[in-house]
Amino acid sequence: MVSEDKIVIALPKGRILEEAMPLLARAGIRPEPAFTDKKSRALRFHTDDPRVDLIRVRSFDVATFVAFGAAQLGIAGSDVIMEFNYSELYAPLDLRIGGCRLSVAAPEQLVRDEDPSTWSHVRVATKYPEITRRHFAARGVQAECIKLNGAMELAPQLGLCRRIVDLVSSGATLKANGLVEVEVIADISSRLIVNRPALKTRPDEINRWIDRFREALDAS
């Protein structure tokens, strides 16, 4: 278990972390040198504040670490928050980084020939089965979801399914694989997330960090 006197902030690996680093610096969070050492295999890092540690994990795992109280704060995409829908998470700030959209995509020929009003059942490859099921259920369509963690665009080509739900930024990857964006489910950005029980038991500390992130946003 995490020491009671430590604040642990969970950060995602990859592009969002790169975009978050200036924001962290403005919030006064300066990690030890090993944090930016690409050769380091460490996952937990000290900062120049002895009360604060950082952990670096997969983007989907940030929400889990915070929801279950292993970390008190974190940075997670709104796609991850929507997928898990943890009641223990509070997302007070849109950090305005990691912008993209979560969309339905399909082969261009299918889009031209098919009438969505006739759908009763669809098979979809996605990293987001819960969001996908909810989205299609809202229009009375049952979605059979095939869980993939990457290379979603291959699924229609290889006959695994006819549609995908995935994150889209420029749309170049879809185009390169013969797919077109059919519908936007949600606009996505990264949020500051907080463990609700920690906010109740350590309100002064947690609210102070929320305020520091808010001030860092205002200064950007």
Per-residue DSSP letters for 3-24? -TT-EEEEEESSHHHHHHHHHH
In the predicted model, what is the mean pLDDT of residues 102-125?
90
Distance (Å) of CA 103 to CA 32, 38, 89, 184: 38, 32, 24, 4
pLDDT over 70 at 24, yes or no: yes
Burial-class residue 50 by CB neighbours within 10 Å (0-12, 13-18, 19+): exposed
Pick one of 3.40.50.300, 3.40.50.1100, 3.40.190.10, 3.30.465.10 as the CATH number of 100-187: 3.40.190.10
Instruction: Kindly state which CATH superfamily the domain 7-98+189-218 is placed in.
Output: Periplasmic binding protein-like II (3.40.190.10)
Q: List the domain boundaries for the chain.
A: 7-98+189-218, 100-187
pLDDT digits (tens, 9 = 90+) for 167-220: 999 999 999 999 999 999 999 999 999 999 999 999 999 999 999 999 999 987
Rounded to the nearest 5°, which phi and psi values hold at 171?
A: 90, 0
What pLDDT shows up at residue 36?
87
Q: Which residues contact 107 (CB under 8 A, 6 or more apart)?
A: 156, 162, 178, 179, 180
State the Cα–Cα distance between residues 38 and 35, nearest whole angstrom.
8
Q: How many CB atoms lie within 10 A of CB 29?
A: 21
pLDDT digits (tens, 9 = 90+) for 134-179: 999 999 999 999 999 999 999 999 999 999 999 999 999 999 999 9
pTM of the model: 0.91
